[in-house]
A and B are shown apart, each in its own frame.
Chain A
Amino acid sequence: MMAEEARTLTIEITRFDPDRDEVPKTQEYEIQVQDDWKVLDAINYIKDEVDPSLSHRWSCRMAVCGSCGMMLNGEPKLTCKTALSDYDSKLKIEPLANFPIVRDLVVDMDGFMEKFRKVKPWIVRAKERAEDMENLSEKGTFSQSPAQLASFKQFSMCINCLLCYAACPVIANEPEFIGPAAIALGHRYNLDTRDEGDGQRNAIFRGEGTVFSCSFANECSEVCPKNVDPAAAVNQAKLGAVVDWAKGLILPRGGA
């Protein structure tokens, strides 16, 4: 299953300390790597044993916390999920593209957090819970069939790792674009039978810099480590936003 072999690998890593550097530079590290290491193991080895000033984010090392996304030879990847053996001779590690660099491999994700909140990523109900009890079972839960659950489940699997933002050609040119993960999340709630907030979210989706800015590149779905398929969510959200708008035109409105 696993051979006990080590080999030497040269890894290029982006270094940037805003206190000292005007622009990011590259530093090379030549290290012995184990055959069963992930890329993250190599970065941690450098941090622990070679250069403690290297800064990066990580935590769960099992591809679910979403902290350790970086560019590996130009492609956005989770470093804890990517085998080092995928890289024979050269590995270049850079911070995620399309985000400002805070330091070394750490990017500024506050902009993402704001976009994320904009889609109202929570269950919206017309009534307060106390007045909503008739819609709940005696145990206090909503009924939801396995099929209804399946309709949105895939879009609830996003770990917010930001790889899709790093891959998105629209974000690269239009940083204000709300982006694949945020749209997928908003769409996830629109599809949830427990939610009544789709009208509000569709109004957001009809605004500037959201679903209609997407150029169908599909890069987001290709890099997603959790098969969320945000491109599908964006396309479905576009349709939802249009249908909702058309309904508004057709239905009689007060004063009309």
Chain B
Amino acid sequence: MVQSSRHDIVIVGGGAAGLRAAIQAAEANPDASVALVSKVYPMRSHTVSAEGGAAAIAREDDSLELHGFDTVKGSDFLGDQDVIQYFVEDAPRELALLENWGCPWSRNDDGSVSTRAFGGMTTKRTWYATDKVGFHMLHSLFQHSMRFPNIVRYDEFFVTKLLVEDGVCQGVAALEIRTGEFHAILGRAVILATGGAGKIFPFTTNGTIKTGDGMALAYRAGVPLKDMEFVQYHPTGLPGTGILITEAARGEGGYLRNNKDERFLVEYDYGVGDKAELGPRDMVSRAIIQEFEAGRGFENRYGNYCAVDLRHLGEEHIDAKLPFVRELARTYIGVDPVHEYIPIRPVVHYMMGGVDTDITAATPLPGLYAAGEVACGSLNGANRLGSNSLTECLVFGAVAGRNAMDFARGSADGDQARLVAQAEEEAARVEALRGNGKGSEQISSLRVEMNSALEAGCGVYREQGTMAVAADATRSIRQRAADLHLKDTSKVFNTEVISALELLNMVELAEALAVSALHRKESRGAHTCRDYPTRDDQNFLYHTLAHRTEDGPRLDRKDVNLGHWEPQERKY
């Protein structure tokens, strides 16, 4: 029996983007009811793991033009310029609001907010709270959200379907994890804010919850996924675990070194120019792989690695600015960066692609909005600059909250009986999956196969041959995922059924990613093909759209919004 509830809008995801959307909607509309649905308690959301900072101009030597151009160039000219211009203009106001709401930004002696250098940014415009910026932003947002009684939280509810009637998204079907009961959570608009999908890869900075649920929900509802081929490898993850060592380590003056103790970004030409260690992430990750290939990497049981060298910064500076880096290095790899190199290698960090949205955070499905990493606006194009994404969650979370509420105000409640009937069908589908006792595929081994296929075909460097293999493999894996074997029959906190639902989401995205990557016969931003080593604006200056069909993704294209900055060669 499905329980149903009604709200004005329903937000899926309780990280930075979802909380910002909820606060925006609830504060401006005290009479409205805002549902916030998350598969974890909001303070567990993966925003918590972000370390380095959030970008917005703050200094006299900076300008909107500079932040905008840095972002466009960083995106390898695939970013939508109207979105980028709106973003850089709104960013300072959003970060100031967060300051007013209690975020403990690090300060200058005069009491103003301090900023630090970051990759691909012309000047110091990254606001920070030591090196736990995501943690402080998330907790500030979550705590601030608690003052609004009209934000109704559904903690530990897993959304399995968007409820669409008469061509409008009007709610979600959700599994209450603690009880196993199904709910139809209805609203006149829905916002997806579920984050990225790093867990489709084996080696990632992402937490285990980052399974791309929102992307899969939209994709199944007929909304295209945009630019899925663009996957950001962060240059510096700990070998083995993939735990992030923030770019702020280099922003604070850290070096990258090879096994000859060289600062290879200075010694060799990797196109990053004077930026050296503060080159953009795609270029620095490629440089590290090339160091490995040239035999200049270190090696341990997890393969090749290079090193972040912070020793020259000194203990006092490290403890003042990078205390979390020191804690992580000591706890998870057994080195103290005050005295030793930190081993690192490129690691899957962020999806530039996601649910197709426009500058209003709207998707092509009326009533459905998306913000944060789940969405592709497209602010980040082919390569995101570090510290733009936390700000993106705020700027476009607020946009989504405002526009979804406006949409809801202009719409009438849909047919409740039909919406609940859809949720009943969904409940039956998940019920049939729970502890099914049949099926021949093990969840964990199919997940490993998917991970391996993507790593082999869609890594830092790609080739037509290996991408084609990945596209075939991910299709087969998606088909086999229809035959999962589940053993746990309990209704109470059944994490096996959650793992199965997450895997069913991930296999859709893995295939969309591999197929999108295979089609793009050029090198742009994070998508680097050895067979097509240069950017091809003539043929590929467009966004890839992947539409779901039963036979696999059907690709389409969407124009890039240019106009202010002319595409030029990307060299630093």
Residues of A within 8 A of B (CB): 1-2, 4, 17-20, 36, 47-49, 52-53, 55-67, 81, 102-104, 106, 109, 113, 116-117, 120-123, 129, 136-137, 139-146, 148-149, 152-153, 156-157, 159-160, 185, 189, 192, 194-195
Contact = CB atoms under 8 A, between A and B. Distances in A.
Interface string B315-334: 00000000010011001111
Residue among A65, A122, A156, A157 having the largest count of chain B Cβ atoms under 10 Å = A65
B496 interface: yes
B207 A52 contact: no
B146 interface: yes
Interface in B487-508: 487-488, 490-496, 499
Nearest to A135: B100
Contacts of A149: 104, 106-107
A61 B241 contact: yes
Given A59-B44, A62-B49, A64-B135, A52 B488 contact: yes
B300 A1 contact: yes
A242 B438 CA distance: 64
A65 B49 contact: yes
Interface in B328-365: 328, 331-335
B436 to A, nearest CB: 12
B104 A153 contact: yes
Nearest to B496: A52
Interface string B404-419: 0000000000000000
Nearest to A110: B155
B530 interface: no
A50 to B, nearest CB: 10
Contacts of A19: 490-492
Interface residues of B, number: 67
B240 interface: yes
B96 A141 contact: yes
B326 to A, nearest CB: 13
The main secondary structure of chain A at its interface with chain B is loop
Given A17-B490, A64-B324, 9 more contacts: A2-B300, A49-B444, A55-B493, A59-B46, A62-B241, A63-B327, A122-B144, A141-B99, A145-B109
**Shortest 4 CB-CB distances between A and B: which pairs?**
A143-B111, A140-B96, A48-B444, A53-B488
Residue among A120, A137, A139, A144 having the largest count of chain B Cβ atoms under 10 Å = A139
24 contacts: A1-B334, A18-B492, A48-B443, A53-B488, A59-B46, A59-B209, A60-B48, A61-B208, A63-B328, A64-B135, A66-B48, A109-B41, A116-B146, A122-B102, A136-B96, A141-B99, A141-B105, A143-B112, A144-B107, A149-B107, A156-B136, A156-B139, A159-B135, A194-B102
B168 interface: no
Residue among A1, A56, A129, A136 having the largest count of chain B Cβ atoms under 10 Å = A1
A164 B100 CA distance: 29
B506 to A, nearest CB: 15
A64 B491 contact: no
B112 A56 contact: no
Contacts of A47: 495
Contacts of A56: 495
B571 interface: no
A64 B104 contact: no
B321 to A, nearest CB: 12
A246 B104 CA distance: 30
